A = this chain, B = another copy of it.
Amino acid sequence: MTGAPTAARDQPLIAIDVVPVSFAAGSGLRVATAPRQYAPYVGQEALPGVLLAPAERLADGARRALRSKAGIDAAAVRHLAQIGAFDGPERDPRSTAISVAFAAVVDPSAVGPGGGGAVDRPSSVWRLPDQGEPRLPFDHDTIIRAALEHVRTRIWRDLPLTRALLGEVFTSSDAAQLQTALTGTAPDPGNTNRALRTNPALVRADAPSSVAGRGGRPPVTWTWVD
């Protein structure tokens, strides 16, 4: 950074937009949106976002956006990663603004009616990322694509991210399903198993997966070594 001697004000606004991502065996990979409370696009579903506060850290702004716009408490946020800064004249009709985007891996139960949040929190909904039928306002579709690309290129390389997505205990099927959701193609089950077996960060959990599947041999459950 640097500056001319007199700081130029009238700079673009700094916005923080967050892509809440969750994964669970039953529901798959999902992205949360919440209806906008202010103009423009009032009532439309959009990513939770806020304007950066004067002395606020970027990551703190992301957490505030999750809390105030989507009702996702900080305790439900398992992982937070910056995606990048987005600009462009088309991204906001009001005034020029740049957006620093984050991807947030949150607990799957933290969204939707009956979730674990406060009673009066804004209602947010999970949606499947691929067929985002109703296009999102601003450049939020671009941001979601970038966030998913970020996750896709880091799965199994970034262990904290992977752990946040899969949770503390998960089955081989869960891992395969996550990979399928991210890459679009199902991995070979044999290779998936070998990878899980030889991964030094994982140990087999004896728990035989309480929930009964609809037929078939129950998958092995895994846990993370501490």
Contacts and interface: CB of A to CB of B under 8 A. Distances in A.
> Interface size class for chain A?
35 or more
A96 B55 contact: yes
A49 B3 CA distance: 7
Contacts of A16: 1
A57 B1 contact: no
A58 B53 CA distance: 21
| Stoichiometry (number of copies) | 2
A11 B8 contact: no
Which of A2, A39, A53, A82 has most chain B Cβ within 10 Å? A2
Interface of A: 1-5, 7-17, 36, 38-39, 46-55, 57-58, 65, 69, 82, 84-85, 87-89, 91-92, 94-100, 138
29 contacts: A1-B13, A1-B16, A1-B17, A1-B49, A1-B91, A2-B17, A2-B38, A2-B69, A3-B38, A3-B49, A3-B50, A3-B51, A3-B97, A4-B51, A7-B51, A10-B54, A11-B13, A11-B51, A11-B53, A11-B54, A14-B14, A52-B98, A55-B96, A57-B88, A58-B98, A82-B84, A84-B84, A84-B85, A85-B100
